[in-house]
C-alpha cells in the first residue's frame, strides 16, 4: 500500500491476475523485461507444474514460487485487497483456469480482478523447426519403421517428394505447396538425424544448417561483403566462379549430375557453357537425341526451362487423351 492509499480502498480493490506465458522453444530464464518486472512486483507467484523449466531460474532470481493449481474462485480470492498474483502458465496455457475465470466473470457474482496475459518470451522466426527436430528424434527412437531406415533406403522418397513439390508449384495450389515443402523438409531432417548415428563421421541438422549458412554468406559477397552485383547474371557468374574455387573444379561441367533427366542435363550443360562465355558448338549427329539436345540448348538460351515446357505440353496431351475417353481432368 502506498502513502496515499486508504485502508477502505484496499478492502474493495479486486486486485490483478497476470497469466505469464513462455515459449519452450526459447531457453529457460530468457524472459522479457516486463515479465521480470511483473514477477518481482507480484504479491504471489503460482505455478501448477513443479517441474516447469522456468522455476529454477525464477528462484535463482529471488522470486518465491508456490506450486499449486488454484481454482478460479481461489485465485480471485487471493487477489483481494489489491494484491497481484502472477500465474506461470504450463505448456497447455492453463485452459481450465482461464475457462473458470471467464465463467466467473460472466456470472456477475463477484468483483473480478484485472486480467492480463503477459507473454514472457516469444518464438523467433523458424522456431517451429525445433519442434520438428524433437519430433524426428522421438520417431527415430520409438517408431519400428523409422528406426530402421538408412540414407540409401530413403533416397527414392527424396526424389518423389521433389517431383511432388514441382507439381504443386506448377499447379499453383498454395495448400499443396505448403504441404509438399514440409515433405521435402522432412527428408532433410530425417537424413540429418540418421547421420548423427554414423560411427566415424557423424553430423547433425545443426551441422547441415551451419554449412549452408556459411556457403550462402561466402557466395553472396554483394550482400554480406564489399563486392557489387547489379544483375542476376553477375550473381550467377560469381556463384559459379566461387563454387569452382571451393570444389577445385577443372571444368565448368564438373559437378553436373549426369543421372538427372536428359532435358534438364542438356539445359544445365548449355547454361554452364553460356555463363562461362565459352564458344562450344553443339555436337552433330543423327537421331532424336541430338535434336533434343539442340532444342534444350535453344530453350536455355531463351530463358525457358525445357523440362517445365515439356511437362506443360505433356499435361495438355494428357487432357486431350482424357477428353477423348470422355473423362474429366
Q: Quote the pTM value.
A: 0.70
- CATH 1.10.287.1080 intervals, the chain: 125-204
**Does the pLDDT at position 55 exceed 50?**
yes
Check if CATH label 3.40.640.10 holds for domain 125-204.
no
Q: Could you tell me the CA-to-CA distances from 4 to 8, 38, 101, 114, 232 in Å, in that order? A: 12, 22, 31, 21, 68
| For residues 246-258, average pLDDT | 84
Is the pLDDT assigned to residue 92 strictly greater than 80?
no
pLDDT at 1 over 60: no
Residue 5 has pLDDT above 80, yes or no: no
Between 26 and 181, the higher pLDDT residue: 181
Question: What is the second-level CATH architecture of the domain 14-119?
Answer: 3-Layer(aba) Sandwich (3.40)
Average pLDDT over residues 223-251: 83
> Is the pLDDT confidence value at 13 over 80?
no
pLDDT for 40 beyond 90: yes
Question: pLDDT tens for residues 101-133?
Answer: 999 888 888 889 999 999 999 888 898 999 999
* pLDDT given for residue 9 in this prediction: 47
3-state helix/strand/coil string of 27-78: CCCCCCHHHHHHHHHCCEEEECCCCCCCHHHHHHCCCCCEECCCCHHHHHHH
As a whole-number percent, the residues of the chain with pLDDT over 90 amount to 65
User: Could you give the percent of the chain with pLDDT greater than 70?
Assistant: 96
Question: Residue 141 to residues 108, 184, 197, 222, 237: CA-CA distances in angstroms?
Answer: 52, 21, 11, 43, 44
Cell numbers representing residue 252 in the block: 565448368
pLDDT at 91: 78
CATH 3.40.1010.10 in the chain is located at 14-119
Say if residue 254's pLDDT is above 70: yes
What is the four-CA torsion angle of 292, 298, 300, 305, rounded to 10 degrees?
-50
Tell me the mean pLDDT in the region 205-225.
93
pLDDT digits (tens, 9 = 90+) for 193-204: 999 999 999 999
Q: How confident is the model at residue 2 (pLDDT cuts 50, 70, 90)?
A: very low
How many Cβ atoms from other residues are within 10 Å of residue 94's Cβ?
19
Amino acid at each position: 500500500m502506498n502513502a496515499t492509499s486508504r485502508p477502505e480502498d484496499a478492502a474493495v480493490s479486486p486486485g490483478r491476475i497476470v497469466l505469464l506465458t513462455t515459449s519452450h522453444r526459447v531457453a529457460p530464464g530468457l524472459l522479457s523485461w516486463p515479465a521480470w518486472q511483473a514477477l518481482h512486483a507480484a504479491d504471489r507467484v503460482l505455478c501448477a507444474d513443479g517441474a516447469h523449466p522456468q522455476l529454477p531460474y525464477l528462484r535463482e532470481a529471488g522470486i518465491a514460487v508456490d506450486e499449486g493449481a488454484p481454482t478460479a474462485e481461489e485465485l480471485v480470492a487471493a487477489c483481494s485487497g489489491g494484491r497481484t498474483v502472477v500465474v506461470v502458465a504450463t505448456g497447455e496455457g492453463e485452459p481450465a483456469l482461464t475457462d473458470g475465470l471467464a465463467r466467473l466473470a460472466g456470472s456477475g457474482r463477484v468483483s473480478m480482478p484485472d486480467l492480463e496475459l503477459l507473454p514472457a518470451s516469444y518464438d523467433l522466426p523458424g522456431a517451429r523447426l525445433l519442434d520438428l527436430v524433437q519430433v524426428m528424434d522421438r520417431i527415430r527412437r520409438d517408431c519400428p519403421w523409422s528406426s530402421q531406415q538408412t540414407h540409401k533406403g530413403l533416397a527414392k522418397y527424396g526424389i518423389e517428394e521433389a517431383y511432388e513439390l514441382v507439381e504443386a508449384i506448377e499447379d499453383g495450389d498454395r495448400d499443396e505447396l505448403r504441404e509438399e515443402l514440409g515433405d521435402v523438409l522432412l527428408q532433410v531432417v530425417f537424413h540429418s538425424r540418421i547421420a548423427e548415428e554414423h560411427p566415424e563421421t557423424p553430423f547433425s541438422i545443426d551441422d547441415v544448417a551451419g554449412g549452408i549458412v556459411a556457403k550462402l554468406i561466402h557466395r553472396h559477397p554483394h550482400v554480406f561483403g564489399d563486392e557489387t552485383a547489379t544483375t542476376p547474371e553477375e550473381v550467377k557468374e560469381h556463384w559459379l566462379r566461387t563454387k569452382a574455387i571451393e570444389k577445385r573444379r577443372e571444368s565448368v561441367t564438373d559437378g553436373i549430375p549426369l543421372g538427372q533427366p536428359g532435358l534438364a542435363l542438356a539445359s544445365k550443360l548449355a547454361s554452364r557453357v553460356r555463363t562461362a562465355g565459352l564458344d562450344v558448338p553443339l555436337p552433330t549427329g543423327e537421331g532424336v537425341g541430338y535434336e533434343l539436345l539442340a532444342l534444350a540448348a535453344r530453350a536455355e538460351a531463351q530463358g525457358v526451362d525445357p523440362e517445365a515446357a515439356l511437362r506443360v505440353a505433356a499435361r495438355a496431351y494428357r487432357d486431350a487423351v482424357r477428353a477423348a475417353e470422355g473423362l474429366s481432368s
